[in-house]
Chain A
Amino acid sequence: MPKIDRSSGLSWRKHTTKKELTIWLYWLIGLSIVTYAWNLISEKTIWFFVQDAGTQAIDIGSRMVPPKLSYMDKLWQPVWDTINIATIGTIIALIIAVPVAFAAAKNTTPHPLIRTIALFIIVSSRSVNSLIWALILVFICGPGIFAGTIAIGLRSIGFCAKLLYEAIEEIDHNQVEAIQATGASRAQQMLYGIVPQVLPTFAGVGVYRWDINIRESTILGLVGAGGIGLQLNGSINTLAWTQVSMILLVILGTVIISEWISAKVRHAII
Chain B
Amino acid sequence: MLRIEDLNKKYPTGDEALKDVKLEVPKGQVMALIGPSGAGKSTLIRCVNRLVEPTKGKVFLGDLELTELSRWKLRQARRRMGMIFQEYALVERLTVMENVLSGRLGYVGFWRSWFRRFPGEDVREAYRLLDRVGLMEMADKRADELSGGQRQRVGICRALIQNPDLLLVDEPTASLDPKTSRQIMRLINELCDERSLAAIINIHDVLLAQMFSKRIVGLEQGSIVYDGPPEDLTPEVLTRIYGEENWEATIGKVEEENEEEDSTISKAAS
Contact = CB atoms under 8 A, between A and B. Distances in A.
A72 B114 CA distance: 48
Contacts of B51: 177, 180-181
Given A185-B110, A187-B110, A178 B93 contact: no
A175 B103 CA distance: 12
Contacts of A200: 93
Contacts of A172: 92
B113 A191 contact: yes
Contacts, number: 80
B150 interface: no
A199 interface: yes
Interface centre among B75, B91, B114 (most CB of A within 10 A): B91
Contacts of A180: 51, 78
Given A174-B85, A179-B105, A185 B75 contact: yes
A181 B98 CA distance: 16
B235 interface: no
A182 B110 contact: no
B79 A183 contact: yes
Interface residues of A, number: 21
B105 A192 contact: yes
Given A183-B105, A191-B113, A192-B102, A197 B76 contact: no
B210 interface: no
Contacts of A95: none
Contact of A188 (B49, B76, B85, B110): B110
A179 B102 contact: yes
Contacts of B106: 182-184
A226 interface: no
Interface string B65-76: 000000000011
Interface centre among A183, A199, A200 (most CB of B within 10 A): A183
Nearest to A181: B83
B89 A175 contact: yes
B92 A181 contact: no
Contact of A182 (B79, B98, B114): B79
Interface residues of B, number: 32
B93 A184 contact: no
Contacts of B16: none
A178 B49 CA distance: 11
Interface in A28-45: none
B87 interface: yes
B162 A199 contact: no
Contacts of A177: 51, 85, 89
A192 B75 contact: no
B79 to A, nearest CB: 4
Nearest to A177: B51
A193 B103 contact: no
Contact of A197 (B91, B98, B105, B155): B91
B23 interface: no
Interface in B78-110: 78-79, 81-83, 85, 87, 89-94, 98, 102-107, 110
Query: What are the nearest 8 A-B pairs in CB distance?
Result: A183-B106, A184-B105, A183-B78, A178-B89, A183-B79, A181-B83, A174-B89, A196-B93
15 contacts: A174-B87, A174-B89, A177-B51, A177-B85, A179-B105, A182-B79, A182-B83, A182-B104, A184-B106, A188-B110, A188-B113, A191-B110, A192-B94, A192-B102, A197-B92
